């Protein structure tokens, strides 16, 4: 995701503070140095695997799997529903604990209410779609051409979609950009932090006044 894309989901990224406070890093376990014999045995095994070509095969397979997962991420399992409706949400985030600077001075007090849309208004909305549904893809391209919208897939390959639509005129340029909600981070954060449920697509998120509008279905763009 590029910087502009991250800016447009600043209301979701406020979860960083909450998750950081909730994270339990556990207790560090005591570590032990391997004796010389064990170390040499491990080196012998590694040298053998390198000489036999097994290591090269392992890394090639690993690389191919990583590239394949990036090009073809698994579907998030969000259902499609063309029924139109709109929700309006007030976005407020309560700071869970005091935040201090390096000198121990409290710079943000626990209980402080943050209203992300007032701190950084959205300059671009998000349009969640199923990238395997041609109707939703066509709708998303047309809408994002006339409105500042980032197209976010919940299914399908953003890599292949960018190639397919690389010559399509889009907002004064060529090539339609597509993104993917990796590991469902945006959708999950919206639900956890603000109770906003993206249970179906298409779903467009954009600022309306001082609220976040969530518009489901395809409205007058069918």
Instruction: Considering only residues 32 and 114, tell me which one the structure prediction assigns the higher pLDDT.
Output: 114
Stretch 46-54: mean pLDDT: 79
> Are 65 and 141 found together in one domain?
no
Q: Is 140 exposed, middle or buried (0-12, 13-18, 19+ CB in 10 A)?
A: buried
Checking if the pLDDT of 58 tops 90, the result is no
The pLDDT of residue 87: 96
> Are 60 and 107 found together in one domain?
no
Residue 12 token pair:
């979701």
Q: Which residues contact 221 (CB under 8 A, 6 or more apart)?
A: 139, 142, 143
Distances (CA, A) of 108 to 94, 96, 190: 11, 10, 23
Q: What is the pLDDT of residues 123-172, one digit of tens each?
A: 999 999 999 999 999 999 999 999 999 999 999 999 999 999 999 999 98
Q: What is the pLDDT of residues 7-17, one digit of tens each?
A: 444 444 444 33
CA distance 210 to 192: 20
> Are 60 and 80 found together in one domain?
no
Residue 190 token pair:
């919206």
> Are 100 and 190 found together in one domain?
yes
| CATH code of the domain covering residue 147 | 3.40.30
Q: What percent of the chain has pLDDT over 90?
A: 45
Residues 50, 182 contacting (CB under 8 angstroms)? no
> Are 150 and 56 found together in one domain?
no
Q: What is the mean pLDDT of the chain?
A: 81
> Are 186 and 119 found together in one domain?
yes
> Are 57 and 151 found together in one domain?
no
pLDDT band at 23 (very low <50, low <70, confident <90, very high): very low
| In-domain check, residue 30 | no
Residue 34 token pair:
């391997």
Domain containing 64: what range?
Answer: 36-71
Residues 86, 213 contacting (CB under 8 angstroms)? yes
Indicate the range of 30-34, 89-93, 184-188 predicted with least confidence.
30-34
Indicate the range of 25-34, 52-61, 103-112, 190-199 predicted with least confidence.
25-34
């Amino acid at each position: 995701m590029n910087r502009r894309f991250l800016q447009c989901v600043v209301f979701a990224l406020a979860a960083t503070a909450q998750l950081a406070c909730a994270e339990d890093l556990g207790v560090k376990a005591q570590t032990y140095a391997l004796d010389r014999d064990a170390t040499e045995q491990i080196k012998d095994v590694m040298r053998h695997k390198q000489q036999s070509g097994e290591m090269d095969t392992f890394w090639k397979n690993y690389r191919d799997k990583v590239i394949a997962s990036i090009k073809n991420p698994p579907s998030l399992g969000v259902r499609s529903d063309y029924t139109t409706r709109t929700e309006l949400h007030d976005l407020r985030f309560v700071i869970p604990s005091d935040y201090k600077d390096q000198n121990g001075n409290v710079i943000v007090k626990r209980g402080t209410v943050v209203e992300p849309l007032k701190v950084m208004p959205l300059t671009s909305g998000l349009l969640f779609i199923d990238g395997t549904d041609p109707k939703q893809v066509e709708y998303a391209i047309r809408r994002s051409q006339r409105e500042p919208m980032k197209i976010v897939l919940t299914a399908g390959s953003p890599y292949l979609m960018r190639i397919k639509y690389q010559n399509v005129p889009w907002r004064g340029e060529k090539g339609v950009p597509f993104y993917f909600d990796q590991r469902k981070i945006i959708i999950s954060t919206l639900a956890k932090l603000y109770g906003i449920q993206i249970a179906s697509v298409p779903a467009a998120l954009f600022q309306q006044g001082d609220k976040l509008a969530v518009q489901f279905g395809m409205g007058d763009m069918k």
